[in-house]
Amino acid sequence: MSSRTTKLEPEWVALEEAEHDDNIVSFDCQAHAKFCRDLDVVSFPSIRLYHRDGRMDRYRGERKAREIAMFVHRALRPYFMEADEHTIGPTTLLDDVVIMAHPHPDDWNFYDQFRTLAQRHRDRVSFIVSPPIGDSSALVCYNNVDDVKHTASDLVTVGALEKFLKLCAEPLIPELTRRNEAHYATTGKSLLHYFATTDAEKEAYREEMRPLAKKYAEFLHFTITDASEYPEMLATVGLKAGQKTGMALENTNTGDMFPFTGQRRITAAVVEAFLEEITSGGLRPWNRGAEDGRQGRGHDEL
């Protein structure tokens, strides 16, 4: 059994317990190879939603019970919903990310673009059409995980709506992987790396650091790296190999690393003090030959 399957099993059990739905089922494709072949399942674990009318939706998101459940709920709703002045409030809280269009009655081009966007991404976020709020069309999104609201400034340029959706769905404190690390390394912002090994540690860090991440969002990405999956990253940023948790700031413009060497628990207050020490020049960048990164002055910017 693959490690991916092993990790999915407890999440699937949690999904079954939470949803109380007999239509949530699992099959062992090694024991029932023909059945899986008939469904064109060539690799597994694979998560699919089969509708009564013959449609099938593939799940491509994170293999967590909550995320899978929300995918199912989205798939069972129309690809976009309509709200009026009485229901607009509750619908903004319908999902982790809600994209709400306020089309002007004469703006059929925007309305058609929004419908196309909703059809394409209905598996990831929820889409709402609401009454107009001005003399022109408007597009607003609500990231309810991070309590962030965005308003689109461009509804005309080709690809603008896709770019806006990506902005809305981007987590305030993402988990770095091989797939997304290049994106965050090339935004021009510094990276505050936090290393953890359990989902509970990661979520606790997100909850505590969310206000601080908003405060520094203009020039700093707060990120999480799984120390078990990417143990080599610890040494890369100046931390000890084998650490289960740790923190370091990376200036992506200069390549400088500032590992956190304190013994205190990593709290929001500790993190802010660490950042202030770097910006004041009180902490030197790490180098492999130095035993004490506090000798001398360092850079005065993140």
Nearest to 111 by CA among 86, 131, 90, 85: 131
Which superfamily does 3-75 belong to? Glutaredoxin (3.40.30.10)
According to DSSP H, which parts of the chain are helical?
3-19, 33-38, 65-75, 88-91, 108-121, 160-169, 181-185, 199-215, 232-236, 268-279
Superfamily of domain 81-169: Glutaredoxin (3.40.30.10)
Per-residue pLDDT, 297:
44
- 292 DSSP assignment: -
List phi, psi (to 5°) of 128: -130, 140
Q: What is the mean pLDDT of residues 242-252?
A: 94
Other residues' Cβ atoms within 10 Å of the Cβ of residue 62: 11
Residue (of 268, 261, 271) closest to 295 by Cα position: 261
Q: Tell which CATH architecture fits domain 181-279.
A: 3-Layer(aba) Sandwich (3.40)
Q: For residues 4 and 169, which has the higher predicted lDDT (pLDDT)?
A: 169
State mean pLDDT over 144-173.
95
Q: Which residue has the tokens 């902490």?
A: 283
Dihedral angle, C-alpha 241, 205, 211, 257, nearest 10 °: 0
pLDDT at residue 169 in the model: 95
pLDDT value of position 288: 61
Nearest to 196 by CA among 172, 228, 239, 237: 228
- The reply to whether the predicted model has a pTM over 0.75 is yes
Position 290 scores a pLDDT of: 55
Note the pLDDT of residue 296.
43
Domain with CATH 3.40.30.10 in the chain: 3-75, 81-169, 181-279
Of 126, 209, 200, nearest to 172 by C-alpha is 209
